[in-house]
Each structure stands twice: as structure tokens, then as C-alpha cells.
Amino acid sequence: MAITVLSKTDSVVRALAKNLTAEDQISIALAIRGYEANRRAPVANSKTRGLIRGGGRKPWRQKGTGRARAGSIRSPLWRGGGTTFGPTNERNFKVSFSSKFKTKALAVALAEQANNSAIYSIDKWPETGKTKELIEILKGNDLPQRLLLVIERSNEQLNRAVRNVSGLELRTAANVSIADVAIADGIVADKASLDILVERAEGKFTAKALPKKGK
């Protein structure tokens, strides 16, 4: 199973290659920031006075005691009371980008990998599902340690071989994120997957374009 480095004269790399500018680098940074923000789960959740059990009865009458007025023992002013302006799990950190922006950012991320000669083409993926065989192929070709493996469609055998190896990420070409491409030290993909990546970078890819399984 030969793995070759795609040179800058290769047709696939040539379709991606471009001169990077400061503006392009900013688009990658924004895309990664949005990716991380969308993964964020608002775990911190404090209880307001209405969420704490008890406090339904007025502690003492309104007048005549000499004490300050109080309506509930769960007031934020009291020990054991609710929290004022605390964090809640209803916070929304989601960031959305236009399709045009995501297409451009993916093109820039792929172009940078291409300019660094970090895109590798593999003829055929191992079908045994054995981690040892996959590692031997990657090490035999002296590839970087942090790799993004891109396949055309979901492959349980390959997923089994990859999942317990640190530094390897397996993605389908249609679902590769900009962060996946930008963070990886290298990208290994078969020809069909590379074609899909190029189509996505050019804004021409649609999910309907994927061939049906078995064809």
C-alpha cells in the first residue's frame, strides 16, 4: 500500500495551492475558534432562589419585630440562599459562519498543508482492522506523528485500527472540519477522498454526489 507525498505540481495540490495572506490566516483562526466554541458545553449551573428547595414561608411578619423585612429564607442575602447572576447551563456559546466563509477557510487550510507538502495519497487502506498493520504502513513511510486520515465513507475496520492510537484522527471527507485540517501535521487520504476535499474547497461538493455503497 504505497503512500506518496503529493508535490506542488500534482493536479490535486495545484488546485489547492495559493499564496496565503494575513486575511487568510485570520479566517482559519476564526474558523477554529468557532469550532471550539461549538464544542463547548455549559456545565456550570448555579441555583437561583426559585430553584432551591424550601423558603416558601415568610420567616416572620412584616412589621413589629424590629428586624429587617424578609420574604424567604432562600433569598440571595441569606446563607444557604440562591445565587444572584450566577452561571447557568442555558448559556449559548454557538458560533455560526456562512457557507462561503467555511468554504474559503477550508480551502486556505488545505492550501497551507499543500504548500508544506503535508498531503499524502494512499492507494488502498488496510482491510484487516489491525492496528499493527496500519502503524507499520505509516511508520514505513516516515510520516508525521499527528495525522488526519481521510476516507470516502465510514469504515468500521479502519476505525477499529485507528481508535486506540494517539495522534491519529479518522474522518470522512464530507465531514472533515477546518480545525481537523489546520491542526494536523499531515493528511493521508485516498484519491476519492482527495477529490471530495477539493470539491468542498471549491464549493462544488454536495452530499448527493457521494456514490452509493457497493458501487
* Sheet architecture: strand order including 119-122: 3-5, 119-122, 186-189, 147-151, 168-172
| Phi, psi values for residue 2, rounded to 5° | -75, 140
Distance between start and end Cα atoms, the chain: 22
The distance from CA 38 to its chain's CA centroid, rounded to whole angstroms, is 8
In the chain, where the domains are located: 3-40+97-209, 50-92
DSSP state of 10: S
d(CA 177, CA 181): 7
For cell 482492522, the residue is 129
From first to last of its 215 residues, what are the pLDDT tens digits of the chain? 445 765 556 666 666 655 555 567 788 889 999 999 999 988 999 999 999 999 999 999 999 999 999 999 999 999 999 999 999 998 899 999 998 999 889 988 888 888 888 888 888 888 888 888 888 888 877 788 889 999 998 888 899 889 888 889 999 999 999 999 999 999 999 888 988 998 888 888 877 656 555 55
Residue with cell 492507494: 123
User: Which pTM does this prediction carry?
Assistant: 0.75
List the CATH code of the domain at 3-40+97-209: 3.40.1370.10
- Asked if residues 50 and 76 have their Cβ atoms less than 8 Å apart, the reply is no
CA angle 115, 182, 4 (to 5 degrees): 50
Measured at the alpha carbon of residue 163, what is the angle toward residues 133 and 215, in degrees to the nearest 5? 75
Question: How many contiguous H segments (helices) and E segments (strands) does the chain have?
Answer: 7, 5
